[in-house]
């Protein structure tokens, strides 16, 4: 299988041509999903005893399978939190894979980990955390949030032996990302939700704390705030929450997986005041720092607390921790042992373009959100649900029911025109179906927004 032959050389050239075309293209199409049965009918059996050959497999990918995907970097992909990796980052993602580096320990991956750490130092500098703070790249926000939650829980258990027998408790808001609640299950802790999807303010949090039973207060070890909610781009009162955590001796985690990129933007940086007091922070470079999937990050004020929670032991691992290893071991600070050096594409892109280009690109997303808001206000059949939050815009089509939004989304997707999906927003005691833009891609044009809104008329 490893023997180099002409077919492999030809396939390498084909793959490189495909990659060059993909990276240089300015007119990619929005794909649309097909049912598994449809795809099976198109490509037939691809895994066989003798193989179907690289050329046939690659042609099936290009002709059928690739078209069933939605490129996350399409300028009219404005759903969820899309991605818009720089071409430099995409190119170096190829180098990362081709280099075959195991990025768990310095002994194996010193060069790659060095580059990751250079990018990480820059990210840490954006937060304003004190000297000594540092972090590692993860597979995404879910892994980063889990790593932070486990580090916080283990620190709480070390502080009091009685905690070893108790089930921990954290507080967050209903606007927090789904991964907080999901990873609490993985960590076997309870979650108490403050009933607000809007900005989590200190009076609401203080009231929640007052209502805790003595047993709940004994189990409480962390508060999770959000630095840019996925649904609406809302940044919680980080400074006020940080002060409460300090007073109550609670771990303060900020999930800025989506919004963390906005730390670069002078126009909104003030919204994040207080993030420098966090014990841990999640930021996803594959969201608003223009890296390819998958690339998240978790940052700690005191990395040694994370190391005590996550460092793995085994006789087969001792060599990596010997003096001869001489360096930083990323696996000690998050949940994964095996890892690729997923921060390498970010490092290369930053090195190539400089941080000022990143600042401009983030500000462009915020500008597009405000341009979209102006277009919505100028049209009689749509209206804003709330003012834009970072690069998110919630708006309603007047008179539409939930099924109207769904039909509109699927119809635009079927045409290969755009992907804009509905969401729900809590108004009073009920949830309303509305539409949502999330602007990440600086290549999105104002004309794209106008055409999407016009399709609602």
> Comparing C-alpha atoms, which of 260, 177, 243, 232 is closest to residue 205?
243
CA distance 44 to 345: 35
Q: Which residues of 345-358 are buried (b: 16+ CB within 10 A; e: fewer)?
A: bbbbbbeebeeeeb
pLDDT tens track of the chain, all 457 residues? Answer: 555 578 788 889 999 999 999 999 888 889 989 999 999 999 999 999 999 999 999 999 999 999 999 999 999 999 999 999 999 999 999 999 999 999 999 999 999 999 999 999 999 999 999 999 999 999 999 999 999 999 999 999 999 999 998 999 999 999 999 999 999 999 999 999 999 999 999 999 999 999 999 999 999 999 999 999 999 999 999 999 999 999 999 999 999 999 999 999 999 999 999 999 999 999 999 999 999 999 999 999 999 999 999 999 898 888 887 655 678 999 999 999 999 999 999 999 999 999 999 999 999 999 999 999 999 999 999 999 999 999 999 999 999 999 999 999 999 999 999 999 999 999 888 999 999 999 999 999 999 999 999 999 9
Q: For residue range 158-217, what is the model confidence (pLDDT) as tens digits?
A: 999 999 989 999 999 999 999 999 999 999 999 999 999 999 999 999 999 999 999 999
CA distance 457 to 446: 17
The domain 361-454 is placed in CATH, from the list 3.50.50.60, 3.40.50.620, 3.40.50.1370, 3.90.1150.170, at 3.90.1150.170
CA distance 171 to 212: 11
Q: CA end-to-end span of the chain, whole Å?
A: 57
Q: What is the dotted CATH code of the domain comprising 93-353?
A: 3.40.640.10
CA distance 325 to 331: 14
Query: Which residues partner with 255 through β-bridges?
Result: 226, 282
Q: For residue range 274-320, what is the model confidence (pLDDT) as tens digits?
A: 999 999 999 999 999 999 999 999 999 999 999 999 999 898 888 88
Using CA atoms, how far residue 268 sits from 172, 238, 293, 357, in Å, is 23, 14, 25, 17
Query: Which residues partner with 422 through β-bridges?
Result: 435
Residue 362: is it exposed, middle or buried by C-beta count within 10 angstroms (0-12/13-18/19+)?
Answer: buried
Residue 245: is it exposed, middle or buried by C-beta count within 10 angstroms (0-12/13-18/19+)?
Answer: buried
The single-letter DSSP state of residue 77 is B
pTM: 0.97
The single-letter DSSP state of residue 80 is S
The single-letter DSSP state of residue 232 is T
**Domain residue ranges of the chain, discontinuous segments joined by +:** 93-353, 361-454
| Secondary structure (DSSP) of 146-203 | HHHHHHHHHHHHHH-GGGGGS--EEEEETTS-HHHHHHHHHTT-EEEEES-SS---HH
Identical fold for domains 93-353 and 361-454, yes or no, is no
Provide the 3-class DSSP secondary structure of residue 436: strand
CA distance 176 to 195: 11
């Amino acid at each position: 299988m490893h023997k180099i032959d002409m077919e492999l050389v030809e396939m390498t050239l084909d793959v490189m041509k495909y990659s060059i075309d993909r990276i240089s293209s300015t007119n990619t199409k929005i794909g649309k999903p097909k049912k598994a049965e449809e795809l099976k009918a198109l490509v037939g059996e691809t895994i066989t005893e003798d193989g179907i050959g690289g050329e046939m497999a690659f042609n099936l990918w290009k002709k059928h399978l690739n078209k069933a995907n939605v490129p996350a970097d399409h300028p009219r992909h404005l759903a969820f939190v899309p991605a818009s990796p720089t071409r430099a980052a995409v190119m170096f993602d190829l180098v990362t894979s081709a280099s075959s580096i195991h990025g768990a320990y310095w002994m194996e991956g010193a060069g790659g980990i060095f580059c990751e750490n250079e990018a990480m130092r820059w990210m840490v500098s954006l937060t304003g955390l004190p000297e000594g703070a540092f972090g590692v790249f993860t597979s995404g926000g879910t892994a980063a949030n889990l790593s932070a939650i486990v580090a916080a829980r283990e620190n709480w258990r070390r502080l009091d032996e009685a905690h070893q027998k108790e089930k921990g408790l954290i507080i967050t808001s209903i606007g927090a990302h789904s991964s907080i609640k999901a990873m609490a299950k993985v960590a076997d802790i309870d979650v108490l939700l403050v009933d607000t999807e809007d900005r989590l303010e200190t009076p609401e949090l203080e009231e929640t704390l007052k209502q805790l039973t003595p047993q709940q207060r004994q189990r409480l070890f962390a508060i999770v705030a959000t630095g840019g909610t996925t649904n609406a781009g809302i940044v919680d009162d980080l400074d006020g929450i940080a002060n409460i955590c300090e007073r109550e001796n609670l771990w303060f985690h900020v999930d800025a997986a989506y919004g963390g990129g906005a730390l670069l933007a002078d126009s909104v940086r003030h919204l994040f005041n207080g993030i420098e007091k966090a014990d841990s922070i999640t930021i996803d470079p594959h969201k608003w720092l223009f890296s390819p999937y998958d690339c998240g990050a978790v940052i700690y004020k005191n990395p040694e607390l994370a190391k005590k929670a996550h460092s793995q032991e085994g006789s087969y691992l001792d060599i990596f921790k010997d003096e001869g290893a001489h360096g930083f071991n990323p696996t000690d600070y998050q949940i994964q042992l095996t890892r690729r050096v997923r921060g390498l594409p970010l490092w290369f892109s930053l090195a190539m373009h400089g941080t000022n280009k990143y600042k401009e690109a983030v500000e462009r997303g915020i500008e597009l959100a405000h341009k979209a808001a102006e277009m919505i206000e100028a049209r009689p059949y749509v209206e804003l649900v709330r003012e834009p939050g970072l690069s998110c815009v919630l708006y309603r089509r007047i008179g539409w029911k939930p099924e109207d939004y769904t039909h509109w989304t699927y119809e635009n997707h079927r045409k290969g025109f755009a992907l804009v999906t509905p969401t729900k927003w809590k108004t009073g005691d009920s949830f309303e179906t509305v539409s949502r833009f999330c602007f990440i891609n600086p290549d999105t044009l104002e004309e794209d927004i106008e055409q999407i809104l016009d399709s609602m008329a």
